[in-house]
Amino acid sequence: MKASSQGIPLRILTHNIRYATTSPFQGERPWEERAPGLVNELLYNTHNQDAFICLQEVLHNQLEDVIFGLNAPHSCASTAKPGPPNWAYIGVGRDDGKQAGEYSPIFYRPSVWKLRQWETVWLSETPTIPSKSWDAASIRIVTIGGLTPGFEAAHIILRKIHEYQNGRFGRILSGVFLSGDLNSQEDQEAYTVLTSTDSPLLDSAKLVNSSKHYGNETTWSGFGYEGLEPGRIDYILLGPRAKYVTTEGQDQSWDMEGYAVLANRFDDGVYNSDHRAVVVDAMLRS
């Protein structure tokens, strides 16, 4: 990681990778066919970046494939040998708090970040145990991590989300991001609550002039046969916004450097997911 007097440069990538179903939709290929392209996407887009990877709809076998792919040697040289793991992750399966059900994992480089604490929270009336409440059709979780850069005392909190709906926030003293598939377009409740003026979070896409965006606008594409309009439902939200910042003279915690929505299908015709990855480059201010 190369810090500067301005702050810490980061790349954040979030992608709902579509769980490995045994009953694929029309146009959907099995996970075994989707996995190589998806892992290559993650590798290429984080190769020379200090990055966090946040995924959704990850079953345990998919988690094993992703972490193996991220840590496998990638040189074509015959002398290439496995080294220490480049990547680690935090997260649990939502059904039992262990390995059952979908994970919402966060991947990070232990050589760069020291993990201080982490937890999984269930979005229910019993948030510390696997559960669902209210009118939720599925179990929903948030994976939360607190990490410190290895070279200084700056602190960043990561929040990875899959349909997170909670409009009450305490005062935030550290840089924070919240990312994932909200299953919500901009005019729907989850997005409007999380980005309201009472929230410390800002939509990263709105912090970059739209003329400077790269790729598609929509993040859900489907597999081509759903008969539904594509939509923007995957987000990276950054905080805290100005009124939550305690540093005198600082208007917010982040400087935006880029926003992109990546392609999820290429010449081979294989969709790596029914969602597209969202990528943000930002500077966490010192």
In a domain, 31, yes or no: yes
> Looking at beta carbons, which pairs linking 158-162 to residues 24 or more positions away fall under 8 Å?
158/52, 158/54, 158/106, 158/108, 160/14, 160/54, 160/56, 160/91, 160/104, 160/105, 160/106, 161/104, 162/16, 162/56, 162/57, 162/102, 162/104
* Confidence label for 259 from pLDDT (cuts 50, 70 and 90): very high
Tens-place pLDDT, residues 48-89:
878 999 999 999 999 999 999 999 987 665 455 556 789 999
In a domain, 162, yes or no: yes
Structure tokens at 153: 């005392």
What's the CA gap between 173 and 247, in Å, rounded?
9
- Say what the pLDDT of residue 39 is: 98
In a domain, 243, yes or no: yes
- Say what the pLDDT of residue 76 is: 61
Domain count within the chain: 1
CATH of the domain at 43: 3.60.10.10
* Confidence label for 251 from pLDDT (cuts 50, 70 and 90): low
| Domain span holding position 60 | 8-73+83-284
Tens-place pLDDT, residues 175-199:
899 999 999 999 999 999 999 999 9
In a domain, 200, yes or no: yes
Bridge partner list, 114: 148
Bridge partner list, 283: 9, 255
In the sheet that 175-181 helps form, which strands lie side by side, from edge to edge?
113-122, 141-149, 156-162, 175-181, 234-239, 202-203
Structure tokens at 245: 């910042």
What's the CA gap between 166 and 123, in Å, rounded?
9
- Say what the pLDDT of residue 284 is: 87
Percent of the chain exceeding pLDDT 70 equals 84
Q: How does the average pLDDT of the chain come out, rounded?
A: 88
Global confidence as pTM: 0.90
Q: Exposed, middle or buried by CB within 10 Å (0-12, 13-18, 19+), for 115?
A: middle
In a domain, 1, yes or no: no
In a domain, 158, yes or no: yes
